[in-house]
Amino acid sequence: MAIRSMTVATTTRSLDGDMTVDEFKEWLRRFDVDRDGRISRDELRRAMRAIRARFTGWRSRQGISYADADGDGYIDDGEVDGLIEYAQKNLGLRIVAY
């Protein structure tokens, strides 16, 4: 699924172009509702809903499973790279290093 000319309700950033890793992390932090510094499956599902992804329950489970290296059920700062890889492969986001 390609994301074109779509804005996220919780931010003014458009997701129709390249996003840097830092911008992705900042965008993702907006969905960390309990402010614990980790992204839960429910928080990831909300983020996916914000970009109008389909099957957000299934995709959020897959995303956590893909990126959660320590198996605690959350994505922390050390595991964000895995989530970035998942988002690029499965959500059509273009995330670049610069």
Task: Tell me the pLDDT band of 16, cut-offs 50, 70 and 90.
Answer: low
Total-model pTM: 0.79
Over 90: is that where the pLDDT of 56 sits?
yes
Indicate the domain borders of the chain: 18-96
Residue 60 has pLDDT above 70, yes or no: yes
Give the separation between CA 46 and CA 56, rounded to whole angstroms: 8
Q: Are 61 and 41 in contact (CB under 8 A)?
A: yes
CATH number of 18-96: 1.10.238.10
The H-assigned helical ranges of the chain are 21-29, 41-50, 56-67, 80-90
The mean pLDDT of 17-39, rounded to a whole number, is: 94
